[in-house]
Amino acid sequence: MAHSYKPADVLDVEIMGDERSMHGLFDHLRESDPVAWVEDAEYRPFWSLSKYDDIKRIGSQNDRFLNAPRTMLLPSEAEEMLEQQFGTKNGLETLIHMDKPKHLKLRRVTREWFLPRSIAKLDEEVKVLCKEYVDKMQDMGGECDFIKDITLLYPLRIIMSILGLPRESEATMLKLTQEIFGPLDPDLQRDAGDSDEQMGTLFELGAFFKDIVEDRKKNPSDDLATVLAHAEVDGEPMNELDQMSYFIITATAGHDTTSAVLGAGMKALLEHPEQMTLWRDNPDLDDAASKELMRWVSPVRHMLRTSTEDFELRGKQIKAGDALALWFPAANRDPEAFDKPNTLDITRDPKKHLAFGYGEHMCLGMHLAVLEVARFYRELLPRLKHIELAGEPQWVQANFVGGLKSLPVKYELG
Ligand code: HEM
């Protein structure tokens, strides 16, 4: 059924929480109003950008377009409440909430840790975990919920491991991060619309990490938690809020996103079986295929930037202080940037997609995320004799980090 979309639909989590309507909306905006002014009763107004070139250009000019003070779309009421409690509109002070010079100093603290040569050291552990989860699929006897049973758990295990956290804490971490990232989804909400409850989630997560810092100060090891526990900025120990925020961004940014690519990636492969076969038969395509799934799924739907100056974009007058939403899934399906954007093609240029953003804030964990997806499918695909949908896929209702919450599948594994 034809749908008449309007710019404010980017705030409608039912439209945004389903790939078909989300891309229908973005196709419409890209063609009719690629720099759209959005006004809504619950949100402060902002510009909505849906063209690849605009999103790349604005994302990479970090001196002109700032991450503070408005980093993601939140209802004005929530922004006011966070400002009262924390003194910032975001509640947290993580890397994505800050700008130079602090951003560069804090990013430097873990830079080494996330470089490809450091991530390569995790390869064996990642492979062991991939085998464990594909074995689990096999043990489940040919039917599972690919999201709930597999993809939500495997990337979480990796993050827990790099943060040096025990398996026993996994259930708590999963619950808390889902509540932070999926707060608009009735299935994942702690208490619909109750901002006190969301604050409770943040405090609980903070307390969780505080214990780890205390432990690593006494018992250093080579994990990322130890790097954060001993981190210094300008010759002083990193302050507590920065430290907690760092734990929270690493823990949360690192698993829901990767889970989403693995999960919705499987749906894409089921819809493009010839690509699944091509990938299975060509291990040299592991890297490119993983990046094509990043493009396809683009689980981080948007980030906001605030303009420092008046300027004109596609005939629209942007003012200093205006917020601009960069819609990464829209950029990644722009026909001016990608040939046949709605076709999954694991042989396309793997560097071009914007699923990890662009510029100085480009995803810190991107090499790890690509490795996780590549290794998982390299373990799964050659063992997979057959796979098909066994029920209706269900999407998370969210406009910040999106993905599937359920993907029932039937399969035969060897
Ligand atoms: C499929 C997986 C992932 C996707 C699609 C993704 C996407 C993104 C995006 C779009 C940004 C913001 C970029 C910008 O504003 O220009 C970001 C930032 C970030 N990501 Fe990821 N991410 C993924 C996995 C991970 C993993 C595995 C980790 C860590 C373990 C991670 C850690 C971070 C951090 C710390 C930032 C903030 C960087 C900064 O502001 O300097 N991400 N990511």
pLDDT digits (tens, 9 = 90+) for 97-152: 999 999 999 999 999 999 999 999 999 999 999 999 999 999 999 999 999 999 99
Tell me, in angstroms, the distance from the centre of ligand 1 to residue 362's CA: 7
pLDDT at 186: 66
Is the confidence at residue 202, as pLDDT, over 80? Answer: no
The rounded Å distance from CA 350 to ligand 1 centre is 17
- The pLDDT score that the predictor gives to residue 414 is 84
Ligand 1 pocket test, candidate residues 242, 259, 356, most atoms within 8 A of CB: 356
- Mean per-residue pLDDT over the chain, rounded: 91
User: Which of 183-195 are b and which e, b meaning 16 or more Cβ less than 10 Å from the residue's Cβ?
Assistant: bbbeebbeeeeeb
Q: How much distance in Å is there from the Cα of 255 to the middle of ligand 1?
A: 10
The residues lining ligand 1, judged by C-beta closer than 6 Å to any ligand atom, are: 59, 95-96, 107, 159, 249-250, 253-254, 257-258, 261, 294, 299-300, 303, 328, 355-359, 361-365, 368-369
* Long-range Cβ contacts of 284-289 (<8 Å, 24+ apart): 285/346, 285/347, 286/374, 286/375, 286/377, 286/378, 287/350, 287/370, 287/374, 288/346, 288/347, 288/348, 288/350, 289/346, 289/374, 289/377
User: pLDDT band at residue 80, thresholds of 50, 70 and 90?
Assistant: confident
Average pLDDT over residues 65-81: 90
Residue type, 79: E
* pTM reported for the whole predicted model: 0.94
Q: Between 13 and 168, name the one with better pLDDT.
A: 13
Does the pLDDT value for residue 323 go beyond 70? yes
Residue ranges of domains in the chain, CATH in brackets: 7-413 (1.10.630.10)
Query: Could you tell me the distance, in angstroms and rounded to a whole number, from the CA of residue 142 to the centre of ligand 1?
Result: 33
End-to-end CA distance of the chain: 41
Amino acid identity for residue 43 in this structure: Y
> How high is the pLDDT of residue 83?
78
pLDDT band at 358 (very low <50, low <70, confident <90, very high): very high
pLDDT value of residue 194: 53
Q: With 70 as the cut, is the pLDDT of residue 275 above it?
A: yes
The pLDDT score that the predictor gives to residue 164 is 77
Q: What is the pLDDT of residue 192?
A: 41
Across the range 389-396, mean pLDDT stands at: 96
- 151 with 373: CB under 8 angstroms? no
Flag the least confident range among 85-94, 166-175, 276-285, 400-409. 85-94
Determine which residue's CA is closest to atom 43 belonging to ligand 1: 363
pLDDT at position 205 over 90: no
| pLDDT above 80: residue 251 | yes
| pLDDT surpasses 60 at 193 | no
Q: At residue 165, does pLDDT exceed 80?
A: no
| DSSP, residue by residue, 134-178 | HHHHHHTTSEEEIIIIIITTHHHHHHHHHTT--GGGHHHHHHHHH
Q: Where are the alpha helices (DSSP H) in 47-91?
A: 52-60, 76-86
Q: What distance in Å separates the CA atoms of residue 330 and residue 241, rounded to the nearest whole number?
A: 34
Residue 190, pLDDT score: 47
pLDDT at 78 (0 to 100): 84
Go through the chain and tell me how many residues it has: 414
Please say if the pLDDT value at position 212 is more than 80: yes
Q: Is the CB of residue 294 less than 8 Å from the CB of residue 51?
A: no
Angle, nearest 10°, between helix axes 76-86 and 195-218? 40
